Amino acid sequence: METSPVRILVVDDFEPFRRFVCSTLAKRPDFQVVGEASDGLEAVQKTEELQPDLIVLDIGLPKLSGIEAARQIRGRAPRSKIIFLSQESSTEVVQEALSLGARGYVVKTHAGSALLKAADAVLQGGQFVSKGLSGHNHSGAAATHGNDLNCVEVLQSPAVKHPGVARSHEAMFYSDDAALVFGFGGFIEASLDAGKSVIAVLTDSHLASLRERLRELGIDLAAAVEQGRYYALDVADILPTFMRNDLPDPVRFLGVVGDLVVTAALATSGNASRVAICGETASILWAQGKADAAVQVEQLCNRLAKQYETEVLCGFSLDTFDREEDRQIFQRICSEP
């Protein structure tokens, strides 16, 4: 059966760049640009009229900014998905844009390589945040706690929903420590704000950077810990509890992590589905050359997410993946029922 094309509205006040965006999207036969707009007010009007599947939206627009346009669009076309395409790359702008319900953010300098990837991720229910300004030195990213998004790329596989199973297991790929802190920080902030308990399993250095990031976001970690809603665990301490002969023991893994979920759920009236987990256990194993163990950990995370109906976000450093096929392996594993 022939499927309908994805209907797209492109919004940018600079006509030559708008033409470039349209031509980039036209490379995909399943994409159809049904409208264009050159200012924020026109974007809102055309969105209401066309009800597109996807809106590619600039931020620096005349008459009405892209941010304000997105606020109005959310009320008039709630089913339309938004990807911001902008020169802006500061953390504050990106966070505000994504907080409005946008699922993608692409910096214009990377539009040629990232826009189609972003569209695919967003249309499948995932989230895409592209690299920021190229050529910026981020060797001190961990020390600055990711105060901008230069050289940061986060690609999340969609939360896969199965009938009767309210859970998700996602993969997040990060290019440097700043990206990891940004990605996990947003996940934890959203989970705590939603009244969930959070279990974070990362390296000790990443946990330290994450603590600073969460404080910058205004999160009272001391209160969350006291309430039993935040557990920060060093992956080096967790691995020996379930690894046997360089492979995860399924019984021990589900027992150890399951006990953590049950304990964290006590702060949410015993509701395990109100627990969110994030970590980099599989990434550490992969970096150590233990590919089979990394794959098995991800498969066990699937079982964990299904059994307790909880959310799991696994982070992977792009430095440990030489091939795109490797990333696809983990995205596929995370999407399995």
pLDDT at 2: 58
Q: Which residue has the higher pLDDT, 183 or 81?
A: 81
Mean pLDDT of all residues in the chain?
A: 82
Residue 155 has pLDDT above 70, yes or no: no
54 found inside a domain = yes
Q: How confident is the model at residue 137 (pLDDT cuts 50, 70, 90)?
A: very low
DSSP state of 3: P
Residue 237 has pLDDT above 60, yes or no: yes
Judge if 306 and 200 occupy the same domain.
Answer: yes
Residue 148 has pLDDT above 70, yes or no: no
Which of 89, 108, 130 lies at the terminal end of a domain, its last residue?
Answer: 130
Judge if 88 and 164 occupy the same domain.
Answer: no
Residues present in the chain in total: 337
Judge if 67 and 187 occupy the same domain.
Answer: no
pLDDT at 220: 93
CB 192 within 8 A of CB 224: yes
Residue 331 has pLDDT above 80, yes or no: no
Choose from 1-10, 160-169, 288-297 the range with maximum mean pLDDT: 288-297
Both tokens of 141, joined, read: 């990213």
Q: How confident is the model at residue 141 (pLDDT cuts 50, 70, 90)?
A: very low
- Alpha carbon 111 to its chain centroid, in Å, reads 18
- How many domains does one find in the chain? 2
Tens of pLDDT, residues 297-308? 999 999 998 888
151 found inside a domain = no
Judge if 114 and 210 occupy the same domain.
Answer: no
pLDDT at 48: 94
Burial of 140: CB neighbours in 10 Å, binned 0-12, 13-18, 19+ = exposed
- pLDDT exceeding 90 applies to what percent of the chain? 42
Judge if 109 and 15 occupy the same domain.
Answer: yes
Judge if 200 and 326 occupy the same domain.
Answer: yes
Judge if 306 and 188 occupy the same domain.
Answer: yes
Residue 136 has pLDDT above 60, yes or no: no
As a whole number, mean pLDDT of residues 283-292 equals 91
Residue 239 has pLDDT above 90, yes or no: yes
| Helix (H) and strand (E) counts in the chain | 14, 14
Domain assignment of residue 262, given as a range? 160-335
pLDDT at 143: 24
Judge if 16 and 121 occupy the same domain.
Answer: yes
pLDDT at 26: 92
Q: How confident is the model at residue 335 (pLDDT cuts 50, 70, 90)?
A: low
Residue 228 has pLDDT above 50, yes or no: yes
Q: What is the distance between the alpha carbons of residues 138 and 232, in angstroms, rounded to a whole number?
A: 25
Query: How many CB atoms within 10 Å of residue 226?
Result: 11
pLDDT at 300: 93
> Which of 65-74, 101-110, 140-149 comes out lowest in average pLDDT?
140-149
Q: How confident is the model at residue 41 (pLDDT cuts 50, 70, 90)?
A: very high
CATH of residue 171: 3.40.50.300
303 found inside a domain = yes
Please report where in the chains the tokens 């596929």 appear, as a residue.
332
> Which of 16-20, 133-137, 192-196, 263-267 comes out lowest in average pLDDT?
133-137
Judge if 91 and 224 occupy the same domain.
Answer: no
Judge if 116 and 175 occupy the same domain.
Answer: no
pLDDT at 117: 87
235 found inside a domain = yes
241 found inside a domain = yes
pLDDT at 9: 97
Q: How confident is the model at residue 336 (pLDDT cuts 50, 70, 90)?
A: low
Q: Can you spell out the DSSP letters for 51-115?
A: --SEEEE-SS-SSS-HHHHHHHHHHH-TT-EEEEEES--BHHHHHHHHHTT--EEEEGGGHHHHH
CATH of residue 79: 3.40.50.2300
Judge if 266 and 313 occupy the same domain.
Answer: yes
pLDDT at 142: 26
CB 279 within 8 A of CB 314: yes
Judge if 94 and 186 occupy the same domain.
Answer: no
pLDDT at 171: 81
Enumerate residues 6+ apart whose C-beta is below 8 A from 5: 29, 30, 31, 32
Which of 78, 108, 130 lies at the terminal end of a domain, its last residue?
Answer: 130
Q: What is the distance between the alpha carbons of residues 291 and 313, in angstroms, rounded to a whole number?
A: 19
Which of 130, 152, 174 lies at the terminal end of a domain, its last residue?
Answer: 130
Q: What is the distance between the alpha carbons of residues 176 and 105, in angstroms, rounded to a whole number?
A: 18
Residue 234 has pLDDT above 50, yes or no: yes
288 found inside a domain = yes
List Cα–Cα distances, 223 to 58, 144, 162, 273, in angstroms. Answer: 39, 24, 35, 21
136 found inside a domain = no
148 found inside a domain = no
Q: Which residue has the higher pLDDT, 235 or 3?
A: 235
